[in-house]
Amino acid sequence: MAEEIKHVVRLVGKDLDGTKAVHRALCQIKGVSFSFARAVAYAAGVDPFRRLGALSDEEIAKLEQVLKNPLEHGIPSWMLNRRKDFVTGKDLHLLEMDIDLTVRADIGRERRIRSRRGIRHELGLPVRGQRTRTTGRKGMTVGVSRKKEGQPSGEKKEEKKK
């Protein structure tokens, strides 16, 4: 008989497509790259090419454990997306809303201490050294206005001289 597939699988607070392969479906989670998704699947003991909806509840729970604590399950620290956290000094892997919150907090901290990066963020300018002479211009463009049709401008000057 054919395997029964769940079309929607909830993992780490996100609804994933159960018809996709495990390593492809995990990439739908913000903070999970292709290589990290494969590493998570292998660390959980799941074939990354199986359909996510065909996994048992125990295998899905194991995937969630590995996603929440990747260092404890043998994933190297260089694969994590936040190494040497500013506050704790630990290697972390952030997912979904945690990424947005920590990035916003980092930018706020840089703005408070008035670092160069913080000032550039405040001004809405590029932060990482890009050139600004021609690109990155924002706002309304000042157009060129045409003169009204009629007499050429040279004739008006002659009339005024008389």
Specify burial of residue 150 (Cβ count, 10 A radius: 0-12, 13-18, 19+): exposed
Name the residue range of residue 43's domain.
Answer: 8-73
CATH at 22: 1.10.8.50
* Structural domain includes residue 128: no
Number of domains in the chain: 1
Specify the pTM: 0.74
Cα–Cα distance, 129 to 23 (Å, whole number): 35
* Structural domain includes residue 27: yes
What's the pLDDT score for residue 154? 63
What's the pLDDT score for residue 111? 95
Average pLDDT score over residue span 53-71? 93
What's the pLDDT score for residue 2? 59
* Structural domain includes residue 55: yes
Do the beta carbons of residue 21 and residue 48 sit within 8 Å? Answer: yes
95-150 pLDDT, tens per residue?
Answer: 989 999 999 999 999 999 999 999 999 998 999 988 888 887 877 677 777 888 87
* Structural domain includes residue 83: no
Using the CB atoms, write b or e for 44-81: b if 16+ within 10 Å.
bebebeebbbbbeeebbebbbebbeebeebebeeebbe
Cα–Cα distance, 160 to 153 (Å, whole number): 11
Cα end-to-end span (Å), the chain: 104
Distance of CA 43 to the CA centre of its chain: 25
pLDDT exceeds cutoff 50 at 21: yes
* Structural domain includes residue 142: no
pLDDT exceeds cutoff 50 at 1: no
* Structural domain includes residue 13: yes
* Structural domain includes residue 64: yes
